[in-house]
Amino acid sequence: MFEGLSVAIVTPMQEGRVDSGALDRLIDHLLQGGVEGFLPCGTTGEGATLTPEERRQVISRVVQRTRGRAWVCPGTGSNDTATTIENTRLARELGADGALVVTPYYNKPTQEGLSAHFEAVARAVDLPLIVYNVPSRTSVNLLPETVAQLAPLPQIVAVKEAAGSLDQVTELCRGTDLCILSGDDSLTLPMLSVGARGVISVLGHLTPGAIRRMIAAHQAGKHEEARRLHQELYPLTKALFVETNPAPVKFALARLGLIHDELRLPLVPLSAKHAPRVEAELDRIDTTLLHRPGSLSGAAR
């Protein structure tokens, strides 16, 4: 269900509040571009700084706006297991198709603690779960052998893997039947080559059709076409992580007129030092790859 292209959608903000109008506009833009799944309230959605009411507002809006056209899997993880369970129950209550549960941050749990955390969430809420491993954000790495221990739990169906290691992805694909998803846009094609089945993307805000074509080309054995698309997208991908995500992608979306360039403290907008690099990549990329508002150029063909 969670295979293919999904987007870790940003949370548009204006004057310190969630901008519902911009969120609707962005959802429609991404649906037009062929996005198959939405993950609100995650890292890119600044979920850690959303209030409980804002979380409810964003999830409800994404679920209602995408109904029947894409799946929705909100970020529900925190550094507290009880809060994670509460957030995951809320996602289920609001009609989400699943939940994205990040490894607990700051606490630095052991592998045994990580296993106990995910098992507690899985047993408490009857909802498909995507386990999210992103050591650069959490300071802990969920090891493949720990994932293998969790894999028999029926609620755990997928892993968003963002450790940056193809060895680790290979071990995950060899050791489980779970759906492994790229959490690093620059590694999507290499991860597909060792067994991953899709990507939870930041780049997909801008080039959804091109990413879908790359995935489809790989699956069809058209490896030269897949490599060409990967190479063309790569410079923009790297520019989107020149500073802490989601500052660069929010800057890019604002430049396209879709949202305001506003983040919630302690994050701040993209610096003047790095803004020209993102602008240059937006200007450089082929117009058939960049999905502009009101354009069908980015849609999957």
Residues annotated as part of the active site = 132, 160
Residue 174: helix, strand or coil by DSSP? helix
E-strand ranges in the chain read: 4-7, 13-14, 17-18, 37-38, 71-72, 99-102, 129-133, 156-161, 179-182, 198-201
Longest dimension (CA), the chain: 49
CA 47 distance to own-chain centroid:
12
Question: Distance between CA atoms of 141 and 29, rounded to whole angstroms?
Answer: 34
Please state, in angstroms and as integers, the Cα–Cα distance from residue 192 to each residue in 168, 222, 226, 237, following that order. Answer: 13, 13, 11, 17
Question: Distance between CA atoms of 107 and 110, rounded to whole angstroms?
Answer: 9
Please state, in angstroms and as integers, the Cα–Cα distance from residue 55 to each residue in 85, 106, 215, 264, 289, following that order. Answer: 14, 21, 31, 14, 32
